[in-house]
Structure 1
Amino acid sequence: MEEAGENCKYLGLPNMLNKSKGNIMAFLKDKVRNRMLSWEGRCISQGGKETLVKSVAHSLPTYAMSLFLLSVDITKDFERIILKFWWNWNRSDRKGIHWMSWSILSKHKLNGGRDFNLAMLGKQAWRFLTKPDSLEEKGVILAGIRWKVGSGQMIDIVNQPWLLDDNNPYVTSNHPTLTHNKVSSLVSTEYHGWDEDILRDLFNERDQ
């Protein structure tokens, strides 16, 4: 197996990344632009263009979106590149008319690629919560993520961040009953809410 050098790529990103996210995003923009240029001059229907945009162009920055939060400007740059392809690049003079604004074409995705980007980052946080041994260096992300309590069946009462406290979302009560039990055991099946009797018996005032 050959050793990967500085110019190698992994899942579409350079193998060696510096601290400048701008350089990484510039690389992604060039990648999307070059892919669009490779389709220039082909006789492609609007349906074919839609397929290429959805299956190819939108997938190119997906891995980067799971690692970095792209700025709004970068997202708009991607949109502009895709719009040029959609309206112009099957013409020799590249002077197509934008018959509809991007906000109308993509109104079912209210924030463009932003929500998708946040969803990809959220998947990383979910993986850290559900598989805490999957990665070693995860302290920075774990410090900022919180459980949102639904049924509570997956959340340990102690040692997991689920309380509504920005400074310390962990339970500080030390009753032995709390260990190895889930948050769902604190919920009243009759009233579909917290079992206040249990809370008073097991938790200190701060946690209550």
Structure 2
Amino acid sequence: MVQAIPAYAMVCFVFPKKFYTKLNSHISNFWWGGDLEGKGVHWTNWGLLSMSKLEGGLGFRDFHKFNLALLARQGWRLVKYPQSFCARILKGIYFAHSNFMEASKGQRAFWAWASILQGRDLLLQGIRWQVNSGTEAKFWENKWIPYVPGFKVTSPKPRGNDFQTGCDAIDSMTKR
């Protein structure tokens, strides 16, 4: 039997794979359980059941993905609200000389910090810069170009090119 775990714990910690497997197993057994002898019919696989309804699935939650999404949300809060109490504490302990997106795990990291870094990895897959003035987005390294697959410059850097940030490539008069 899966023990009750407070919902707020999924926001702070990555749970072990064994826990997710057991939880998903209980859910599938409930839906596919059938009669008292457990002879149910598996109408479709779990992958289809856990797809969103928009994609043709039934919208069941994959708890591992859900847990990572909640941790990514915590990471986004550290980026969005760097002056919050939590962000300042974590910055002082784990990334005093860098920012959250470049922070490393360290050798003696707490479980909560290691978990938030796993959420950051998910965040890095989809995050991109919104260029306003273009002074902060690094031209060659960051994802900042809309309507381009990957939102990033994929061509090799030509010799003699001195573009450092996005604003170096934007015409100040036409804003293009």
User: What TM-score do the two structures reach when normalised by structure 1?
Assistant: 0.41
Q: Which protein is bigger by CA-based radius of gyration?
A: 1
- The higher-RCO structure (CA 8 Å, 6+ apart) is 2
